[in-house]
Structure 1
Amino acid sequence: MLTEDLTRSGLNLIAQAISIFDADLRLAVCNRPYQAMFDLPDALTETGARFEDTIRHLVLRGEYGPQDDPETAIRERVAQARTFQPHYMERLRADGRWISVEGAPLSQGGWIAVYTDISQIKRQEELLRARSEELSELVLAHAERLSEANRALAATNAALEEARRIATESESRTRQVTAMVPAHIAHMDRDYCYSFSNNQISAIFPGAGASILGRSGEDVLGAETFARIRPHMDRAISGQPQVFEISHPPSGRRIRIALTPDQSGRGAYILSTDVTAEVQSREALAHAAKRAIAAQVTSGMAHDFGNLLTIILGLQSRLARADLAPPQAEDVQATLAAAKRGVTLLDGISALTGARDHRPQPVDLRELLGDLAAMTRPTLGPDIRLTIAEDIPEGRLMLDPGALQDALLNLILNARDALQGRGEIHVTARAAGRWLELCITDSGPGFSPEALKRGTEPFFTTKGGQGSGLGLSMVYDQIKLAGGTMRLANKGGAEVTIRLPWRDATPLLVLLAEDDPNIRAATREMLLAQGHAVIEAENLAEAKRLADLPGLSLILSDLQLGDGSGAELADAPLPLVLMTALPPDAAQRSALTVPVLTKPFDEAELAMALMKVTDD
């Protein structure tokens, strides 16, 4: 109400008559000169008064001169007002006075009208005309038209200024909306330079700078990435809409790009979105479906096959102990080797159909690769050379060492088989942005086209009867479970590239609250083995006193402390992990909102719990 009163007071100080009608043609506000100029009753100057009632009052009073059909005149003026078009006009009123009417639409709907008494100007013009013996009629006519044009120009300028303001506000809103979209929206001209961006490119293409206007796509995205986009951009510039996906080499992300031709022919509009999670889910579902089919086919046979192998191994072992002639002894050894290979195949089937867990823990990758080399070199033979190189920072990483070593061992043995006794195998490890990249290459013949397409499918093999077809499938599953990616390629020989999320095993300062000294000691040893520092508390009261120590990273507490519940430590401004021997369905655990470790737990389970809570 205060704002409305201030607005009216300000408008009343203006000599010109002003009225503002809303989109429903009801009066929003007017000033006193408006009422005085047209001698309007109070009812027609109150907020909400209808424009039609005002026009009817003026028409019937003769404001617009004699009218043969007043109602038709009223309807025409109301219909004209509803078009909300900018206008300027001058008219002679019934009382002999001249007024100019200047109207402009409003962005919210409705319009504002300014009425100016120009009677004095008109009298001066008439006076000039009457005393113009020394002036030609042509000069006077031009002067009069110029005066009218100036007034019309002023009205037009006001309308243009309002239109500019509306356009500016609209552009600002558009930019704000596009900046909030979790995608990169841009325009690229025919020279492949960015002419518009919503400044979200670095969220989609990590490493691209935020300031890209005027820069080329190759400069912003890199030559390798832009080389994948350019053919589609050429087609979009020529008028063909494009939707496609690319892999972003620096980050490993999967990006979906939609290109829409600019109708003016000046380039194309770009919409880029990160669909990595979608693609991974799609691949995981497809792979899971294949694994489910394989499991369904094999699980029924695995039990019976295991029983048969047990019998065969038992009989063959008995025969091996007998004093047989050399040919028969060799047959027995060959049968034993085949049976043991069957056991290996059963283990692979079990791994394929069984549940998997990702168990990360702090790992020294250099040490893991050294152990891998020591383990595999004796199996490669004298004419196969294994080299391992790494370019990674000092420190430990959160990895599942067993799964990673199994995956690398599988890939090295696959490469060995492809080399057929002679060649080279290279393993490289490097930091690649947010990823740990492991690349295994060999100097063999490389993957066949079918292997590149189907290599990760369960039971697919190019080794004929010598392969189970489970190796690459198991590696793929292990890497996906860890949130990574695996890519097969040929570069001279076969190349397998694994990317795993880079997670530093950051040392923490942990407040350990446990009232059992033996459990406290065992848990402390686990934490110290992972490189963490530990402060201990024997009960809840002591833990509460220590919870505000500077530098603390998190609290690890037993749920049932002697003097209270460890859940009370959730009030501290630190992440909390609780430990308990209670089963998961126990009532005391159902209301908890923090991670809970079930006792007993091992070092890997503890490391996983700490990683989850610190990542969050």
Structure 2
Amino acid sequence: MEWSEELAGGLLQAAPDAILVMDGETIVLANDRAVELYGRARDELLGKSIEMLVTADARIMMAARRRKIEEGRPGPIGAVTTTLRRPDGTEIPVESSVSLVDTPQGRLAVCVVRDLSERARADQEKARLRAEAQVDRNQRLESLGQLAGGIAHDFNNMLGVIVNYANFVIEEASSDAPDVAAIAADAEQVVRAGKRGTDLTHQLLSFARREVVRPQVLDLNQVIADVEEMLRRTIGSHIDLIVAPAPELPPVLCDPGQIEQVLVNLALNARDAMPDGGELVVDTSRHGSQVRLRVSDSGSGMPPDVVERVFEPFFSTKGGGTGLGLATVYGTVTQAGGEVSIASTPGVGTTVTVLLPMSSGSLPDSSDPSEPAPGRGETLLVVEDEEALREVAGRILAGAGYRVLSASCGAEALELVARHDGVIDLLVSDVVMPGMLGKELAERLVDARPGTRVLYMSGYAQPVLHSQGTLDPGVALLEKPFTASDLLAAVRNRLDV
């Protein structure tokens, strides 16, 4: 098929790149894109030398290309990257491809010029994003280093207390006339340090949004009332605590333990901001479709640059402490689907505002929990790879009237089950164990013995037993570390389901 002049002209104008047709160095044809790219009218291009459109550096390259045009045969002679100059003096990076074509009018050079400025801008943007990503990685690494250092510092302090007071207990108990009161006091220090370690672990998990969450419909005013006396003891008598609950406050769906932790952390921060005394106000109200919890103090306040960083882990304006308080608050509130903000003025005070989504559910019937009933000879299979903890759990359960079988891993547990002729009423298993996860063990055991119930133990069960931070339906989990009453209550509840 022969191309008509109209078709050739249409293709020339439809091309997305600039096209110049040259006879020697003289431009004899230019499409609309060339007029746009070079910023000149068509009559300013036609009949002119190509050299007026390029920079001095590009003219050096054109000398070599001119020889190829003069000596070459019809066909493409390659592409070069160069720059063109517009009438306003701006220079644009371009890629120029030239082909030689023999026509009835003689040999012509067809030059296709592609604007590379968009590509250059894209490359610059990529480089900028890479640089920002590197800065972000460096900041995260610095934050992780700060986090690890803070954890190591606090846990070393706690371990130092535990080890030394445990040695005091041993020394006193081994003496010829042991002082029972002194032993009890030292043991209490061990327990207290252990609880501090537990609290720090829960704060870390909450900050990382890995805490085991058990949301329930709550009356926020009641939660505040339940923890009010503890808050008063925490902040000290030199600070006035004012609680202003809003009447008929809608319920929220949250983990009560986490809300209590939020209140305690905010109270501790407020106390440290008011060493000479002041007022701490805790109030609630309805805020559209949310419930607002506001904690305000009349303390020293913070400048804007500090306010911007207060939710970072281990960022602290204090000389001591974990530095996890506000970071934990942020992690807890956002995990509950809420929002948290802070406003502070130096010399005036600080206000932390927490917004939680309202719940349409009904508040549970409140009744005083009773002591868990003792065992009735049920057979429990305890599977835990940590030997000391396995022995502790077995000792507690056996002392409460249960028959206890123990295994250190999933494979050992299945072998024990295969040899056991009687019923196994409950599997009490760690979640993360070498060789076989607790979930797989439970599935295989229940498949072999369908009547066996399951209770998991773990300090970090996500994502094995979790979906989006919430326990999977039907899963019963006892968080580590646990007390004897925690274990006995969880076992009894699971058996009585």
Same fold (TM over 0.5): no
TM-score by length of 2: 0.38
- The higher radius of gyration belongs to 1
Question: TM-score when scaled to structure 1?
Answer: 0.32
Q: Which structure has the higher relative contact order (CA within 8 Å, separation 6+)?
A: 2
